[in-house]
Amino acid sequence: MQNNVLILDFGSQYTQLIARRVRELNIFCEIKPYNHLPDDLLEYKAVILSGSPFSVRSEEALHPNLDGIKGKIPLLGVCYGAQYIAHFHGGNVAPSKTREYGRARLATIKEGEPFFRNISAGSQVWMSHSDTIQKLPEGAELLASTEDVENAAYKIADEKIYAIQFHPEVYHTTDGKQLLENFLVGIAGLEQTWTPDAFVETTVASLKREIGDDKVILGLSGGVDSTVAAVLLHKAIGNHLHCIFVNNGLLRKNEFEEVLEQYKHMGLNVKGVDASARFLDALAGEEDPEKKRKIIGGIFIDVFDDEAHKVEDAKWLGQGTIYPDRIESVSASGGPSATIKSHHNVGGLPDYMKLKVVEPLKMLFKDEVRRVGATLGIADERLGRHPFPGPGLAIRILGDVTREKVTILQEVDAIFINGLREWGLYDDVWQAGAMLLPVHSVGVMGDERTYEKCVALRAVESTDGMTADWVNLPYEFLQKMSNDIINKVPGVNRVVYDISSKPPATIEWE
CA 477 – CA 47 distance, rounded (Å): 48
Ligand-binding annotation for 318, yes or no, is: no
CA 79 – CA 360 distance, rounded (Å): 33
Residue 155 burial (C-beta neighbours within 10 Å; 0-12, 13-18, 19+) = buried
**Contact predicate 467/502, CB 8 Å:** yes
The per-residue DSSP string of 384-432 comes to TPPP--TTGGGGTB-S---HHHHHHHHHHHHHHHHHHHHTT-GGG-SEE
The phi, psi pair for 343, rounded to 5°, reads: -110, 145
Over the Cα atoms of the chain, what is R_g?
25
**Is the preceding omega at residue 503 within 30 degrees of 0, hence cis?**
yes
SS3 category, 72 = coil
CA 178 – CA 478 distance, rounded (Å): 40
Distances (CA, A) of 22 to 15, 77, 84, 203, 282: 11, 15, 22, 20, 43
CA 452 – CA 495 distance, rounded (Å): 11
The per-residue DSSP string of 273-341 comes to EE-HHHHHHHHTT---HHHHHHHHHHHHHHHHHHHHTTSTTEEEEE----HHHHHHH--TTSSSPPP--
Among 167, 234, 240, 242, which one carries the catalytic annotation?
167
How far does Cα 446 stand from its chain's mean position? 46
**Contact predicate 417/426, CB 8 Å:** yes
Among 159, 169, 255, 328, which one carries the catalytic annotation?
169
Q: Does residue 344 have an active-site annotation? A: no
Ligand-binding annotation for 224, yes or no, is: yes
Among 79, 159, 307, 344, which one carries the catalytic annotation?
79
Q: Which of 393, 492, 375, 488 is nearest to 433 (CA)?
A: 393
The per-residue DSSP string of 434-449 comes to EEEEEEEEEEEETTEE
Ligand-binding annotation for 348, yes or no, is: no
CA 498 – CA 209 distance, rounded (Å): 47
**Contact predicate 355/300, CB 8 Å:** no
Ligand-binding annotation for 401, yes or no, is: no
Q: Which of 96, 110, 106 is nearest to 126 (CA)?
A: 106
- Who contacts 59 (Cβ-Cβ below 8 Å, separation ≥6)? none
In the chain, the amino acid numbered 141 is E
Ligand-binding annotation for 206, yes or no, is: no
Q: Does residue 167 have an active-site annotation? A: yes
Ligand-binding annotation for 227, yes or no, is: yes
105 has which bridge partners? 124
| DSSP letter assigned to residue 59 | T
Ligand-binding annotation for 22, yes or no, is: no
SS3 category, 480 = helix
| Residue list for the binding site | 221-227
| Residue list for the binding site for ATP | 221-227
Q: List residues with catalytic annotation.
A: 79, 167, 169
